[in-house]
């Protein structure tokens, strides 16, 4: 299992999924850059989430709120006061830890010495900066540590403009920032990351039922995109883990090489957030049901996922090695919706006679799906390269293609090859993608 982690991290670097940030300056441990393949994979993760949460529903709308935000928001949400982790330093070796993450809170995992930790200090995880040229407290702003507050502060705007009524949701994908004490495990915990969050507003007496509904929906999303059931679990929080406002929280957890880790938290946040913002802003944040004459503050169910962390789980679950015709190959068995490229067009030889037709085939596919083109080295090598980055279908253009105007589609997983007329290729590939 530990090898799996090394293998995926190496593959990410070698093939251009994820690069250490600022590498030419020695790297910057808490951030990563997404390369030509990583940017496609990350977008596909987000796209799959958006499709399931917004596109395929008529009760959820989207939002893209600002990252820079005034202290008033974080005062009301409780983040200024409570968004802290307990920080301890080892007096012996100077390593720094989050106290709640230590297996043994009395012994330093780095130097092995006991009772060397300083008193725990509560460290606020929000990044603070200044808006405008003067660095004064009146100009203080924060980089958002979660996207969720954007939905709460826009509740009234969305309610008034979208003509939705509870139960309805507001979804957002975007960057969040946390000054994590111990970033690590590759892109599992970074200081800058992408979240995919949805706030679902419901009548107060329907909170429990919608909480269960979203737990089930969100668990299924990962399974449908290829995470094996034995590596995924829904873990309800114990009563002592729950935030004071939560009437129930469950985490979707993935079995990482180092153990179970959170991919997503689903929480029944009751009316806490809307009430807090209503009190602090003086605005009424409630719903008036004209039919029944009833006025209430909706309760909120929040499925909050991490796109970058989830991308890593998909990579780990997809990574495998097998043997094809006596040769070993690395293959990413990514769900086709997630694969960076859906198709690769491979002319059998680099001869000028095949290139024009191969490029014509490329041009037919490009408007519909991300398509790679590769004409260097042997066809076997090129298949291996595409397997390794998870391309589900390779299209080979050979000398017969010049005559029969057909190409061969090779399937990454079954290795089955079928001959398809070039005129039917787009329909075939799009059909396969939709059926996947
Ligand atoms: P953790 O306990 O791992 O710090 P959390 O419970 O604080 O996470 P939430 O506030 O519930 O996380 O955020 C929702 C999701 O955002 C998490 O499930 C995770 O996928 C993602 N996330 C949170 N912090 C980070 C981070 N530092 N790096 C990458 N993803 C993160």
Asked if the model's pLDDT at residue 351 lies above 90, the reply is: no
Q: Using CA atoms, how far apart are residues 274 and 299, in angstroms rounded to an integer?
A: 8
Name the pLDDT band for 134 (thresholds 50, 70, 90). Answer: confident
DSSP state of 48: H
Cβ < 6 A, ligand 1 pocket:
146, 178, 180, 189-190, 193, 195, 262-265, 304-306, 308-309
And the tokens for 203? 């009548």
The b/e string for 148-163 (b: 16+ C-beta within 10 A; e otherwise) is bbbbbbbbbebbeeee
Q: Using CA atoms, how far apart are residues 65 and 146, in angstroms rounded to an integer?
A: 11
Closest residue to atom 26 of ligand 1, CA basis = 189
Fold for domain 2-74+126-315? BirA Bifunctional Protein; domain 2 (3.30.930)
Question: Can you tell me the mean pLDDT for 144-173?
Answer: 97
Question: Can you tell me the mean pLDDT for 341-358?
Answer: 93
Asked if the model's pLDDT at residue 1 lies above 70, the reply is: no
Closest residue to atom 22 of ligand 1, CA basis = 306
Say what the pLDDT of residue 115 is: 92
Beta-bridge partners for 346: 396
Read off the pLDDT of residues 75-122 as tens digits, 9 standing for 90 and up. Answer: 999 999 999 999 999 999 999 999 988 989 999 999 999 999 999 989
Q: Out of 173, 193, 248, 261, give the residue to mutate to test ligand 1, the one with the largest number of ligand atoms within 8 Å of its CB.
A: 193
CA–CA distance from 349 to each of 105, 361, 405 (Å)? 62, 15, 17
And the tokens for 96? 């720094």
DSSP state of 310: H
The DSSP secondary structure of 353-391, one letter per residue, reads TTHHHHHHHHHHHTTTS-EEE--SS-HHHHHHHHHHTT-
And the tokens for 237? 């929080």
Read off the pLDDT of residues 201-211 as tens digits, 9 standing for 90 and up. Answer: 999 999 999 99
Beta-bridge partners for 46: none
> Which among 348, 428, 332 has a CA at the least distance from the CA of 386?
332
Q: Give the start-end residues of each E strand in 131-231.
A: 140-143, 168-177, 192-202
> Which among 164, 189, 186 has a CA at the least distance from the CA of 178?
189
Token match 């995924």: residue? Answer: 232
Question: Can you tell me the mean pLDDT for 161-168?
Answer: 95
Q: Using CA atoms, how far apart are residues 313 and 223, in angstroms rounded to an integer?
A: 12
Say what the pLDDT of residue 28 is: 86
* Pairing outcome for strands 168-177 and 60-62: parallel
Closest residue to atom 21 of ligand 1, CA basis = 306
Read off the pLDDT of residues 224-282 as tens digits, 9 standing for 90 and up. Answer: 999 999 999 999 999 888 887 888 999 999 999 999 999 999 999 999 999 999 999 99
Name the pLDDT band for 324 (thresholds 50, 70, 90). Answer: confident
Distance of CA 306 from the midpoint of ligand 1 (Å): 6
In terms of Cβ atoms closer than 10 Å to its own Cβ (0-12, 13-18, 19+), residue 213 is: middle
Q: Using CA atoms, how far apart are residues 364 and 347, in angstroms rounded to an integer?
A: 15
> Which among 377, 409, 379, 375 has a CA at the least distance from the CA of 394?
409
Read off the pLDDT of residues 49-84 as tens digits, 9 standing for 90 and up. Answer: 999 999 999 999 999 999 999 999 999 999 999 999
Say what the pLDDT of residue 435 is: 94
Tally of CB atoms within 10 A around 353: 10
Instruction: Give yes or no for a contact between 175 and 67, defined as CB atoms under 8 angstroms apart.
Output: yes
Q: Using CA atoms, how far apart are residues 366 and 429, in angstroms rounded to an integer?
A: 11
Instruction: Give yes or no for a contact between 166 and 288, defined as CB atoms under 8 angstroms apart.
Output: no
- Domain boundaries of the chain, sorted by first residue: 2-74+126-315, 84-124, 341-435
Q: Taking the CA of residue 240 as centre, how many other CA atoms within 13 Å lie in the half-sphere pointing to its CB?
A: 0
Beta-bridge partners for 170: 61, 199
Average pLDDT, the chain: 95
Say what the pLDDT of residue 81 is: 93
Q: Using CA atoms, how far apart are residues 36 and 64, in angstroms rounded to an integer?
A: 24
Say what the pLDDT of residue 136 is: 83
Instruction: Give yes or no for a contact between 436 and 336, defined as CB atoms under 8 angstroms apart.
Output: yes
Q: Using CA atoms, how far apart are residues 385 and 341, in angstroms rounded to an integer?
A: 12
- Ligand 1 atom closest to 189 (CA): 28
Q: Taking the CA of residue 105 as centre, how many other CA atoms within 13 Å lie in the half-sphere pointing to its CB?
A: 10
Residues in the chain: 436
Instruction: Give yes or no for a contact between 171 and 301, defined as CB atoms under 8 angstroms apart.
Output: no
Distance of CA 59 from the midpoint of ligand 1 (Å): 26
Name the pLDDT band for 189 (thresholds 50, 70, 90). Answer: very high
Say what the pLDDT of residue 63 is: 98
Which residues neighbour 323 within 8 Å (Cβ) at sequence distance 6 or greater? 329
Say what the pLDDT of residue 332 is: 98
Q: Note the CATH number of domain 341-435.
A: 3.40.50.800
Say what the pLDDT of residue 150 is: 98
Say what the pLDDT of residue 243 is: 82
Distance of CA 121 from the midpoint of ligand 1 (Å): 21
Question: Can you tell me the mean pLDDT for 151-169?
Answer: 96
Question: Can you tell me the mean pLDDT for 307-326?
Answer: 95
> Which among 192, 225, 231, 224 has a CA at the least distance from the CA of 44?
225
Cis amide leading into 167 (omega within 30): yes
Question: Can you tell me the mean pLDDT for 213-221?
Answer: 98
Q: Using CA atoms, how far apart are residues 75 and 281, in angstroms rounded to an integer?
A: 11
Asked if the model's pLDDT at residue 133 lies above 90, the reply is: no
Token match 């083109």: residue? Answer: 373
Question: Can you tell me the mean pLDDT for 189-199?
Answer: 97
Asked if the model's pLDDT at residue 2 lies above 70, the reply is: no
Token match 């408007």: residue? Answer: 367
Which residues neighbour 215 within 8 Å (Cβ) at sequence distance 6 or greater? 234, 250, 266
Q: Out of 185, 189, 300, give the residue to mutate to test ligand 1, the one with the largest number of ligand atoms within 8 Å of its CB.
A: 189
Closest residue to atom 8 of ligand 1, CA basis = 262
Read off the pLDDT of residues 415-436 as tens digits, 9 standing for 90 and up. Answer: 999 999 999 999 999 999 999 9
Question: Can you tell me the mean pLDDT for 360-384?
Answer: 96
């Amino acid at each position: 299992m530990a090898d799996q982690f090394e293998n995926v991290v190496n593959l990410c670097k070698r093939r251009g999924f994820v690069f250490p940030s600022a590498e030419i300056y020695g790297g910057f441990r808490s951030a990563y850059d997404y390369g030509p393949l990583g940017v496609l994979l990350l977008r596909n993760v987000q796209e799959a989430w958006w499709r399931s949460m917004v596109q395929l529903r008529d009760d959820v709308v989207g939002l893209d709120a600002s990252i820079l935000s005034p202290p008033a928001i974080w005062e009301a949400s409780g983040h200024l006061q409570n968004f802290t982790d307990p920080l301890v330093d080892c007096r012996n070796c100077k390593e720094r830890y989050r106290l709640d993450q230590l297996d043994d809170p009395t012994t330093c995992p780095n130097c092995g010495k006991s009772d060397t930790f300083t008193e725990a200090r509560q460290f606020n995880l929000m990044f603070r900066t200044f808006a405008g040229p003067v660095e004064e407290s009146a100009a203080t702003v924060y980089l958002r540590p979660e996207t969720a507050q954007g939905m709460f502060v826009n509740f009234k705007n969305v309610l008034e403009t979208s003509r939705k009524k509870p139960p309805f949701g507001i979804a957002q994908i975007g960057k969040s920032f946390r000054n994590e004490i111990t970033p690590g495990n590759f892109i599992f915990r970074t200081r800058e990351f992408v979240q995919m969050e949805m706030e679902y507003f419901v009548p107060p007496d329907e909170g429990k039922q919608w909480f269960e509904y979203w737990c089930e929906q969100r668990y299924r999303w990962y399974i449908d995109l290829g995470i094996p059931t034995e590596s995924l679990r829904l873990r309800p929080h114990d009563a002592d883990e729950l935030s004071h406002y939560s009437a129930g929280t469950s985490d979707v957890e993935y079995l990482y090489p180092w153990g179970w880790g959170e991919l997503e938290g689903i929480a029944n946040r009751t009316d806490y957030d809307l009430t807090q913002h209503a009190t602090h802003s003086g605005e009424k944040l409630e719903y008036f049901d004209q039919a029944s004459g009833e006025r209430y503050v909706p309760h909120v169910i929040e499925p909050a996922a991490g796109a970058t962390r989830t991308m890593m789980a998909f990579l780990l679950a997809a990574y495998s090695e097998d043997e094809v015709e006596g040769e070993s190959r690395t293959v990413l068995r990514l769900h086709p919706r997630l694969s960076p490229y859906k198709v690769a067009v491979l002319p059998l030889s680099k001869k000028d006679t095949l290139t024009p037709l191969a490029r014509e085939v490329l041009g037919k596919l490009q408007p519909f799906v991300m398509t790679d083109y590769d004409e260097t080295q042997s066809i076997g090598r090129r298949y291996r390269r595409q397997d390794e980055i998870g391309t589900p279908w390779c299209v080979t253009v050979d000398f017969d293609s010049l005559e029969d105007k057909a190409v061969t589609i090779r399937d990454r997983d079954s290795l089955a090859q079928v001959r398809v007329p070039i005129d039917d290729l787009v329909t075939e590939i799009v059909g396969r993608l939709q059926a996947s």
